[in-house]
Structure 1
Amino acid sequence: MKISVIIPVYNAENYVTQAVESALQFDEVSEIILVEDKSPDHALEVCQDLEKKHERVKLFQHPDKENHGAGASRNLGIQKATGDFIAFLDADDYYLPNRFDAEKKLFEDQEVDAVYGALGVHYYSEKAKEQYEPLFGNRLTTVYKKHDPKEVFPGLLNMKGSFGLFSIDGLTVRRKRLLEKIQPVFKTHLRLHQDTEFLFRSSYYLNFHSGILDKAIAIRGVHESNRITQVDSNKAKPSITRVMLWREVNTWAESEPTLPENIKTHIKRMYRSWEIANSSPAKKWSMILKYLITDYKSIRSGLYNINFRKNLF
């Protein structure tokens, strides 16, 4: 089993060494691909030192050496990968010793395209804990029970009730199947939530199997400068980045002829609810009226999404 671990690196000089060392502990990891994305700190120098020190570490930058975001960096890493399997890791996160325990057995079955597991949390400072513990607590990010692969896609779309979540840090996927069935892999125009969009889309086309769900196989590192944490912890109003995410998912759904109509309708409702909730009070009601007249199906369950209800009233 040869696994390529892809780590996009941005503003992570204090954390990337730990991430790399956590992946080096596994004999199954044949290479660790660092894609340095024009960090404003000294992450490039740290990555260069890691490449010199460890034979399995390979460092790349974008051809123009500019900043392109995590999605483009992961895409570049996938292009450079030579392993039979791809695993992802954020530069401020790290793997635990059981990271690939389930994968070694499950991937013996050639029908298994991808395996996912649970993610834990670690606060790098008391300030980070104080700021973000209400968001993450000390809970696992996990799917609550084992599901058939056909249930993963609707589960992630919140169509299965209490399904749960998993993170890209806990995902391992066959490289050949990924490249054959998912193009583009990551949508580069989404600067945030491109990993969530990828999980939605890929779980429709690939067979996702559950690995270890009751204990962490990787750790999310939380610190004050987490970009995604800062966005998701803003409780004042729903984020425009969520609107962009669901707009992208809705665009894909409308163009996918094999997607059932009930799922397309669900996705459109999710998009409408975020779109309306992110609008000004006056615009909210004008949009509701517009969709009631022009697209009743997409708004009739306007109270369908907790984010919509919470921000509408």
Structure 2
Amino acid sequence: MKISVITPVYNAEKYVTQAVESALQFEEVYEVILVEDKSPDNALEVCKQLAKKYDRVKLFQHPDKGNHGAGSTRNLGLEKASGDFIAFLDADDYYLPNRFDAEKELFKDPKVEGIYGALGVHYYSEKAKEQYYQLFKDNLTTVYKKHNPKDVFPGQIGMRGSFGLFSIDCLTIRRDAMIKKLHPFFKTHLRLHQDTEFLFRLSYYLDLYPGILDKAVAIRGVHENNRITDVDLKKVKPATTKLLLWKEINDWAKSENTIPNDVKVHIKRMNRSYEIALAPIPKKWGMIAKYFITDFPSIRSGLYNINFREYLF
């Protein structure tokens, strides 16, 4: 196996060395591609030192050396990757020694196009734990049981009940299959949840198989300056960012002729539930009344959605 590990780097000078060295412990890792995204801290210098120290570490920046967000940064990493397999690792996270145990066996079967595993959590400080424990607790981010690849996409979008989640840090993909079947890769206009949108589409087009689900193969590092968690908890209502995500998925589903109609309807209803949740009160009542009459399951979908209930009034 020749695995390219893609790591976007932003505001992670304290953590990127640990991330890189956790990937380099595996002989299967052919290269670690660092893409520095105009960090406000000293991360660029740390990355330069890592590239100088380790032959397998390659450092890139955007052509204008500007800040373009995680989606564009991962896309640049994909463009530069030359391994047969692609894995991702955020700069403040790290791999565990069992990260590629399942991959080494399962990828012997050519029909396996991707493998996902379980993600653990580590709080870098007590302050970080105090800030973000309500979001992550001490739980594994995982899929709760092994599923056939055809069930992964409907499971992720909420059509299979209690399915669970997997993180991009725990995903390994055949590079050729991704290039052949998925276009574009990450949606660059989404500043948040672009990884979730990518995973949704990826699980529709590629056959993804379960790896290790009952224990972590990688760790999410949580600190006071986590960009995504800071937005989720402090600056923007989660329903606002989720609405942008589901609108994107709904637009894609409408344009993809191979998606079954019942799946399209479910996606439309999820998008609609967030629209109702965020509408002004007078408009909200009108939308609820309309859909009670014309499409009651849209309301029912919303009532099962925690953000819908939280921001209903």
Instruction: Give the shorter-chain TM-score range.
Output: over 0.9
Structure 1 residue aligned with 2:47: 47
Structure 2 residue aligned with 1:176: 176
Per-residue deviation at 1:278? 2.1
Q: Is the 8 A contact 2:155 2:163 kept in 1?
A: yes
Structure 1 residue aligned with 2:97: 97
Q: Is the 8 A contact 2:270 2:298 kept in 1?
A: no
Task: Indicate the larger mover: 283-292 or 99-108.
Answer: 283-292
Structure 2 residue aligned with 1:296: 295
CA distance, structure 2, for counterparts of residue 118 and residue 176 of structure 1: 24
Q: Is the 8 A contact 2:6 2:32 kept in 1?
A: yes
Structure 1 residue aligned with 2:281: 281
Distance 1:298 1:215, change over 3 A: same
Per-residue deviation at 1:153? 0.4
Asked if 1:14 is matched to 2:14, the reply is yes
Please tell me the residue identity of whatever aligns with 1:67: N
Task: Report the secondary structure of 1:233's partner residue.
Answer: helix
CA distance, structure 2, for counterparts of residue 180 and residue 145 of structure 1: 29
CA distance, structure 2, for counterparts of residue 231 and residue 276 of structure 1: 22
Per-residue deviation at 1:297? 6.6
Structure 2 residue aligned with 1:195: 195
CA distance, structure 1, for counterparts of residue 30 and residue 164 of structure 2: 31
Moved over 6 A (4+): none
Per-residue deviation at 1:306? 3.5
Distance 1:297 1:175, change over 3 A: farther
Please tell me the residue identity of whatever aligns with 1:24: L
Task: Indicate the larger mover: 295-304 or 166-175.
Answer: 295-304
Structure 2 residue aligned with 1:251: 251
Aligned ranges for residues 1-313 of structure 1 at < 5 Å?
1-234=1-234, 237-289=237-289, 291=291, 296=295, 299-301=298-300, 302-312=302-312
Distance 1:74 1:299, change over 3 A: same
CA distance, structure 2, for counterparts of residue 168 and residue 27 of structure 1: 21
Per-residue deviation at 1:290? 5.0
CA distance, structure 2, for counterparts of residue 303 and residue 139 of structure 1: 25
Q: Is the 8 A contact 1:265 1:297 kept in 2?
A: no
Distance 1:284 1:237, change over 3 A: farther
Per-residue deviation at 1:298? 6.8
CA distance, structure 2, for counterparts of residue 91 and residue 166 of structure 1: 18
Per-residue deviation at 1:292? 5.5
Per-residue deviation at 1:184? 0.5
TM-score (norm 1): 0.96
Query: Cα RMSD between the aligned structures?
Result: 1.7
Q: Is the 8 A contact 2:117 2:166 kept in 1?
A: yes
- 1:79-103 CA-to-partner distances (Å, cap 9, x unmatched) read 1000000000000000000000000
Task: Indicate the larger mover: 245-254 or 224-233.
Answer: 224-233
Task: Report the secondary structure of 2:245's partner residue.
Answer: helix
Task: Report the secondary structure of 1:30's partner residue.
Answer: strand
Distance 1:63 1:297, change over 3 A: farther
Q: Is the 8 A contact 2:117 2:211 kept in 1?
A: yes
Distance 1:112 1:46, change over 3 A: same
Per-residue deviation at 1:236? 8.9
Please tell me the residue identity of whatever aligns with 1:75: N
CA distance, structure 2, for counterparts of residue 3 and residue 308 of structure 1: 40
Query: What is the aligned length?
Result: 312
CA distance, structure 1, for counterparts of residue 124 and residue 10 of structure 2: 17
Per-residue deviation at 1:238? 3.6
CA distance, structure 2, for counterparts of residue 93 and residue 176 of structure 1: 26
CA distance, structure 2, for counterparts of residue 13 and residue 279 of structure 1: 40
Q: Is the 8 A contact 1:273 1:307 kept in 2?
A: no
CA distance, structure 2, for counterparts of residue 71 and residue 169 of structure 1: 14
Q: Is the 8 A contact 1:169 1:218 kept in 2?
A: yes
CA distance, structure 2, for counterparts of residue 155 and residue 275 of structure 1: 22
Q: Is the 8 A contact 2:116 2:172 kept in 1?
A: yes
Alignment gaps of 5+ in structure 1:
none
Q: Is the 8 A contact 1:121 1:219 kept in 2?
A: yes
Q: Is the 8 A contact 1:231 1:239 kept in 2?
A: no
TM-score (norm 2): 0.96
Per-residue deviation at 1:230? 1.8
